[in-house]
Amino acid sequence: MKIKWLTDNKKRAGLYIALLLLAFLTEVGLFNLSSIRTLRGGAGIELTDRFSVSEEAAYNAADGSYTAGAEEFTMYMGEVNADIKNLYIDMDFEDTAVANSIYLTDEGNVLAYKLPEHYLLKGRGREDSQYVTLHPYGKVRTIKMVFQVTPGESFRINQISMNVSKPFQIEPLRVAVIYGVFVFAAIFRRKSKLHQIAFRPESKKQWAAGVFIMGIFLALATGAFRSNLEYWTGMGGNQYHALTRALSEGHFSLDYSVPDELLQLENPYDMNTWDGIDVYWDNAFYNGKYYCYFGITPVLLLYLPCYLLTGTLLQNYTVSLIFLISMITGSFYLVRQILKKWGDGKVPFFAWPLLSVMLCFSENYFFLYMRPYFYNIPIIGANALTVWGLGLWLKGMQTEKGKGFCYFLGSLCMALVAGCRPQMVLISFLAVPLFWDIVIRKRELFSKDSIKETLAICIPYIAVAGFLMYYNYARFGSIFDFGANYNMTTNDMTRRGFNLDRLGTGLFTFLFQPPNIVSTFPYVRETLISSRYMGRVVVEFALGGIFMTNIITLLNGLTLSVKDVLKRKGAWALSVICLCLTIILGCIDATIAGILQRYTADIVLAALLPACIICCILLGELREKAGNGYYILCNFMAAAFLMTLAFDFFMMFANTGAITMEGTNPELFFYMQTIFGNI
């Protein structure tokens, strides 16, 4: 037995060493390909003095530097007549990243043609950015380089050379990522002991391991949160601050002054009539007063208590961070309860962290994590409350001690969702299939013997609904009007109406739009949204449909083929209702609101939840047979997990409307480009 243990460990150690070697070879052979090509280049041929600098850059004879007199300057070299493999550009700029456009003429092109834009970096990635690999048509005739700079900036030209030997750059972060992917793939092989470890909710070691993994992904999400925090901190959106002050003073209307010119307008919701009038953007305007139409729940839970206790208004990014943490911890909690209810002790342990991460790191949520500003707060808040609410309901169904308390907290969370994103309260209808057996067959609820549990479920809904109805009526004269139609925004939403012709484009974009994958960093781009709707459509951008970017949701396609298994496990009706809600929520957002990437987060949970349940049930069913089906499902999960993380990472650097990491945090963008885009 001891000899077998030693043999197995030697084989395992040998495998991981071999994978490390393979990762290193990938680093050298793929990411240092340009270094291999120029091994014999040596110091190359210096061209510094052969370049002429345009008059937009004034030369300072005292120290040999230049001063930019315009937004760009040119360096030109004629009569090159040389085979050029690469250029080495060593220049000192004050800017973090300076764009450089290179134009060439060569034996195949008498007219200059422009090469893809290149960036010279000041900080991280500087050395790698100094080397530009060229692929001209034969000998190069002329070279022109155009640099985009800040007027008044001082810069220095140190050296420009051609055919230089580029040194090898072994990037530890890149090697670690490559090695991590190889190891991750290896631990899912058939002979891996990972398949032998079943999920045991009573195991303290497994609980600790799960919390540790959750901590890692909390750190990663926080890193995305902080990646561009300075920019998002400066973004507008003080509606919650205004509402907090109003509530502290005992009224619902915001303390905004209303010009007489606005009151006299025939249609104050038409932005084309606002010329010269001070209007508070994205606030509800009704009967001469401004109101906050964004859900009140975040204010009641966080802003108002902090303001009343300390006199300080919470920053929006702080609230975003709180909900981010709640979303991730709640997802791990919810998946844990799913495995306890439908796993039957047969599901492998790795299903807990993998499914949890694919839930909370869905690109629809990760998009909100990396944009910690006002508009995303009610959306991520609604989702965080929902995952905790569903998790607590499932917990109450599986315990006797504290059952009523779990039901109460679960219902409170689910009810408060209406005060964040009213449409998402429809997910509360999952209570019907969840509690069906308990209410109809076992009669454990809504009976004399379970009056406490019944009240625990119902009272939060009654209390929250009563307050929200009063809140709406006091502001807009209707208990069901949350005020979104009175928004002072790009279009008159009071006349937008509900039009079925908007459904096609909206549902396709929200659910089935393929992501726009390209071959250059950051590999992900916003998708093209096309519509033949002969009317005004509110569109920003999208990054791909829910079923196209969250690969795990494709398991929903098995709903019919595994119907008998789902019925036996009591999950059939739940899955069907979830998929119906996915469509219903998509219809609501597409017709009432518009097509925006952040709105996909209203919908995605209804698609992810049944996929997680189906995956859990099938893992348990197939693991007993230990056949090909089980390993295929495991490999599918592993691939979906890696694709989720990869899409999230590169999405951070993708163009998202008018906002880009390239423009707001160029140092980070171009550093990552040198690591993951410089092949």
pLDDT, tens digit, 9 for 90 and up, residues 304-343: 999 999 999 999 999 999 999 999 999 999 999 999 999 9
% pLDDT > 90, the chain: 74
CA 480, distance to chain mean position in Å, is 32
Helix (H, G, I), strand (E, B) or coil at 504: helix
Q: Which residue type does 339 have? A: L
**264 CB-near residues (< 8 Å, 6+ apart):** none
pLDDT for 663 equals 80
Residue 467 burial (10 A CB sphere; 0-12, 13-18, 19+): middle
Token pair 């009610």: residue: 378
**Cα distance between residue 53 and residue 61, in whole Å:** 14
Q: Is the pLDDT of residue 504 over 90?
A: no
For residues 282, 286, 292, 293, the Cα torsion angle rounded to the nearest 10 degrees is -80
pLDDT for 438 equals 77
pLDDT, tens digit, 9 for 90 and up, residues 375-418: 999 999 999 999 999 999 999 999 888 899 999 999 999 999 99
Give 614's strand partners: none
**Cα distance between residue 643 and residue 637, in whole Å:** 10
Residue 288 burial (10 A CB sphere; 0-12, 13-18, 19+): exposed
Token pair 């902080």: residue: 226
Work out the mean pLDDT of the chain and round it to a whole number.
Answer: 92
Q: Is the pLDDT of residue 439 over 90?
A: no
Strand 131-133, strand 140-148: pairing: unpaired
**DSSP letter (8 states) at residue 82:** B
List the alpha helices (DSSP H) in 477-562. 503-507, 546-549
Nearest Cα neighbor of 434 from 358, 354, 338, 331 is 338
**Cα distance between residue 565 and residue 620, in whole Å:** 11
Nearest Cα neighbor of 243 from 318, 302, 296, 319 is 296
Does 45-162 carry CATH code 2.120.10.30?
no
**DSSP letter (8 states) at residue 343:** -
C-alpha distances (whole Å) from 602 to each of 172, 330, 526 are 38, 16, 19
**Cα distance between residue 679 and residue 669, in whole Å:** 16
Q: What residue ranges do the domains of the chain occupy?
A: 2-32+172-182, 45-162, 187-232+314-676
pLDDT for 41 equals 82
Confidence label for 246 from pLDDT (cuts 50, 70 and 90):
very high
Q: Is the pLDDT of residue 197 over 80?
A: yes
Nearest Cα neighbor of 129 from 667, 670, 669 is 670
